[in-house]
């Protein structure tokens, strides 16, 4: 079941970094993706002759997906802000035309903090992995 991203996240262009959330097991994990177009605003300067999606934006996309993994139906939107990441590795560049597939698995959830592992891939190949990413859910009530 697809979940409209703007029903959970308050982010909007240019910082809404998820196009679709395709699967959710509430409290456990979420899957989604972003279609990376040559027209993305960040390609104008990163880098003009060799456009590559910045790693910080891949990281932000994974963090945004974390909110869907713990969101409850009917709950108001809330912003997920990165509080810490134990380890992150980037394996391959993300290029214009790629579909960035995202996965976030919840490890724990205490109050407004959710800790999880995240992965980004293109065509089945891992491009980035984050271990023990802690996301602060600003505005999340009743967690």
Report, as residue numbers or ranges, the catalytic residues: 46
Residues 70 and 109: beta-carbon distance below 8 Å: yes
DSSP per residue, 69-117: HHPPTTPPP-EEEEEEEEEEEE-S---TT-EEEEEEEEEEEETTEEEEE
In the chain, what are the helix, strand and coil shares in percent, each to the nearest 5?
Answer: 15, 45, 40
């Amino acid at each position: 079941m697809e979940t409209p991203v703007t029903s959970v996240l308050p982010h909007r262009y240019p910082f809404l970094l998820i196009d679709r959330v395709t699967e959710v097991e509430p409290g456990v994990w979420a899957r989604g993706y972003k279609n990376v177009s040559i027209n993305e605003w960040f390609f104008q300067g990163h880098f003009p002759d060799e456009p590559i999606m910045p790693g910080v934006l891949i990281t932000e996309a994974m963090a945004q997906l974390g909110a869907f993994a713990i969101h409850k139906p009917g709950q108001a939107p809330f912003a997920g802000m990165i509080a810490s990441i134990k380890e992150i590795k980037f394996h391959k560049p993300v290029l214009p035309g790629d579909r960035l597939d995202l996965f976030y698995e919840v490890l724990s959830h205490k109050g407004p903090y959710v800790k999880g592992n995240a992965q980004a891939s293109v065509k089945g190949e891992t491009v980035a992995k984050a271990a023990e990413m802690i996301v602060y859910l600003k505005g999340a009530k009743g967690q």
